[in-house]
């Protein structure tokens, strides 16, 4: 049984991640609607989050590329208790680990669907939720 899709709270009140020198290009691409990953030039491992060295081989050079924007829900939880007043209007909301088609696993919200409609293994597409001057990658069911 499906409930009505919850109303999305104003995103401007929600917390923002602090960009740094290694992640600024990622956040710039996100604001433009692209999910930016990096492929290690030494071993081809795909890196996320943005960082100075490859977690697979320690190499320090990589080529950024735009991800396909698709993934699969590895697991998820439904949060009923808002951690701050800004999240209260969103509760209950879905926090998921999404395996991107390119390999990295990202934590994000699954938005625009009722919590009881989400299942492990579902295909999602990455969308970008504007928050102030930034945009966060989030997932929607396909
Ligand atoms: Zn590497």
pLDDT digits (tens, 9 = 90+) for 4-34: 444 454 566 788 889 999 999 999 999 999 9
The structural domains of the chain, with segments of one domain joined by +, span: 18-141
Whole-number Å distance, alpha carbon 103 to ligand 1 midpoint, is 14
Whole-number Å distance, alpha carbon 47 to ligand 1 midpoint, is 9
Whole-number Å distance, alpha carbon 140 to ligand 1 midpoint, is 30
pLDDT digits (tens, 9 = 90+) for 96-112: 999 999 999 999 999 99
Q: What is the pLDDT of residue 14?
A: 85
Beta-carbon neighbour count of residue 85 at 10 Å? Answer: 8
Average pLDDT, the chain: 91
Whole-number Å distance, alpha carbon 53 to ligand 1 midpoint, is 8
* H helix count then E strand count, the chain: 2, 8
Q: Could you give phi then psi for residue 53, rounded to 5 degrees? A: -125, 155
Higher pLDDT, 61 or 12: 61
Residue 89: CA count within 13 A, CB half-sphere: 9
């Amino acid at each position: 049984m499906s409930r009505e899709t919850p109303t999305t709270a104003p995103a401007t009140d929600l917390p923002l991640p602090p960009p740094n020198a290694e992640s600024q290009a990622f956040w710039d691409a996100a604001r433009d609607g692209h999910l930016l990953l990096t492929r290690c030039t030494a071993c081809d491992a795909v890196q996320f989050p943005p960082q100075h060295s490859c977690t697979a081989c320690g190499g320090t050079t990589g080529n950024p590329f735009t991800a396909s924007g698709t993934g699969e829900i590895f697991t998820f939880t439904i949060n009923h208790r808002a951690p701050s007043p800004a999240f209260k209007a969103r509760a209950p909301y879905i926090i998921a680990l999404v395996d991107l088609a390119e390999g990295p696993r990202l934590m994000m919200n699954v938005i625009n669907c009722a919590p009881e409609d989400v299942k492990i293994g579902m295909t999602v597409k990455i969308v970008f939720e504007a928050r102030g001057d930034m945009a966060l990658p989030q997932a929607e069911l396909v």
